[in-house]
Amino acid sequence: MKKRSKQQTFLLILFLVLVWGINWPLSKYALDYMPPVLFSGVRTLLGGLLLLGAALPRYRRLRFKQTWYIYVVSAVVNVVLYYGLQTMGIQYLPAGLFSAIVFLQPVLVGLFSWLWLGEFMNGLKVTGLVLGFAGVGVISSGASGASGHISAAGILLALGSALSWALGTIFVKKTSAKVDNIWLVTLQLIMGGVFMTGLGSMTESWSEVEWSAGFIASLLFISIFVIALGWLVFYKLMDSGEASKVASFTFLIPLVAILIGTMFLHEPFTYSLLIGLVLVLGSIYLVNRPRRLRAMPGS
């Protein structure tokens, strides 16, 4: 595999953080026009179908008979469980608090990468991962004004969403050498999208969908950039670098969402946002800080 330059890696991470950060306020807007389960299914299915054009010329790399279980497991944990639990859980908790719990994922990825992938772990990296989660918590609590009833069901669903995403990330990292990245993203989205669209069709009504120009534009942006290209870039990054380091940058995603809300939805820039920003940046520095080799005695 050709190693990417630091600049290329930075640009890919920047793209991922921006589009996944934009996804939160854009999805909130889109949910006013389509029921949640249908929306989760349609956006993932559409993203998978869009990628199918890029996957088909690589059909020799599919090897479905030998690797079908990888596509199925990935679809279950990264699409059905992640998006399904997220869609249900957001109804029980303030969005900011819910997203703070979901973004426990990088901490879990760092822990699981150490346990199962043999990635290096030290005190600074642990401190950085915890610091990042704390930063997200500070930002989200200030943004949502975490008051009112806190639902145990909502907390469990958010934890389930974070856990499924973390397990899916580790599973893909561990099995990525056996499958083609484009086919993996394509099939997980199509399989998960078909299941959730079918579930939404049985439990919700298509007559509730309002096909406005703004909604269609939002749906297309989410399907193309957030779902299809976003997952593809995420897997390519996970495949080329330490999983915990790449995952640490996802702490910036809720920060981007809050900043967009501040600029375009006229939400106040609070002290909690500023403090959270400092914690998040500190987290990324600590997790990605290069190790220094000890000097040999007498050198």
Give the residue carrying structure tokens 């589009």.
Answer: 19
Both tokens of 50, joined, read 């869009």
Q: pLDDT tens digits, residue range 108-128? A: 777 787 777 777 777 777 888
Give the residue carrying structure tokens 């779902």.
Answer: 227
75 C-beta neighbours (distance < 10 Å), count: 24
Helices (H), 145-270: 152-175, 181-203, 213-221, 230-240, 243-248, 252-264
Q: What is the pTM of this model?
A: 0.79
Q: pLDDT tens digits, residue range 45-95? A: 999 999 998 899 988 889 898 999 999 999 999 999 998 888 777 777 666
19: closest CA among 185, 225, 206, 250? 225
Delimit the domains of the chain by residue range.
12-288
Contact (CB, 8 A) for 228 and 51: yes
Q: pLDDT tens digits, residue range 187-199? A: 999 999 999 999 9
- Distance between CA 3 and CA 91 in Å, rounded? 43
Q: pLDDT tens digits, residue range 151-179? A: 678 778 888 998 998 899 888 888 878 88
291 C-beta neighbours (distance < 10 Å), count: 9
Which residues, other chains included, contact 113 with Cβ-Cβ below 8 Å and sequence gap of 6+?
A: 119, 121, 170, 173, 242, 243, 244
Neighbour-count burial of 205, counting CB atoms closer than 10 A to its CB (0-12 exposed, 13-18 middle, 19+ buried): exposed
Please give the distance of CA 129 from its chain centroid, rounded to a whole number.
16
Neighbour-count burial of 258, counting CB atoms closer than 10 A to its CB (0-12 exposed, 13-18 middle, 19+ buried): buried
Per-residue confidence (pLDDT) for residue 194, from 0 to 100: 97
pLDDT range class, residue 148, cuts 50, 70, 90:
very low
The DSSP-derived string for 92-121 is TS-HHHHHHHHTTHHHHHHHHHHHHS----
Mean pLDDT over residues 255-277, rounded? 71
pLDDT mean across residues, the chain: 80
The DSSP-derived string for 102-169 is HTTHHHHHHHHHHHHS-----HHHHHHHHHHHHHHHHHHHHHHT--SPPPHHHHHHHHHHHHHHHHHH
